[in-house]
Amino acid sequence: MNCRHCGSEKTRKNGSNLGIQRYKCKVCGKTFSEKPPKFDEKTRHQALLMYLNNVGIRKTALFLGASRTTILNWIKQKHAMLQSLAEDFQPDVSESADIIELDEIYTFVKKNSCGQLFGLLSLGGKTVLLRLK
């Protein structure tokens, strides 16, 4: 049995809970069970899309069959991941910058989009996730 958290094969049995075998990783020290996760990545992605499309947390939880706390934890995890990516992001800065107007961006997105688009806007030291359509 491989650890779910770090992928190590160095695990040992660590009791049971409701008849399901528990394991403990010798490398990272975290515990896990044989039971697969209740929600797959597709469901998590759907929850995040619903959140970005202004569907409330309660409605999202109701539609997906998850608790509000679970939905909020998924959002916080993705936010932390985006923050770490934004901190490591180093844009290519050239000597001659092009200046474009907001209506040009709107026209470009309207013509070339085939679905929902998201982008990062980075100004100075602040980065914001934008929904472009």
- Kindly give the parts of the chain with pLDDT less than 70: 91-106, 108-125, 131-133
Q: Which amino acid is at 109?
A: V
User: What tokens were used for 57?
Assistant: 């947390």
- The fold of 39-87 is Arc Repressor Mutant, subunit A (1.10.10)
| Ranges of each domain in the chain | 1-36, 39-87, 103-131
Strand 118-123 vs strand 126-131: parallel, antiparallel, or unpaired? antiparallel
Q: pLDDT at position 25, please?
A: 93
Q: pLDDT at position 59, please?
A: 95
User: What tokens were used for 72?
Assistant: 């909020």
Q: pLDDT at position 89, please?
A: 74
Q: pLDDT at position 24, please?
A: 94
- Nearest CA to 106 out of 97, 119, 94, 96 is that of 119
**CA separation (Å) from 124 to 31, 120, 128?**
42, 13, 11
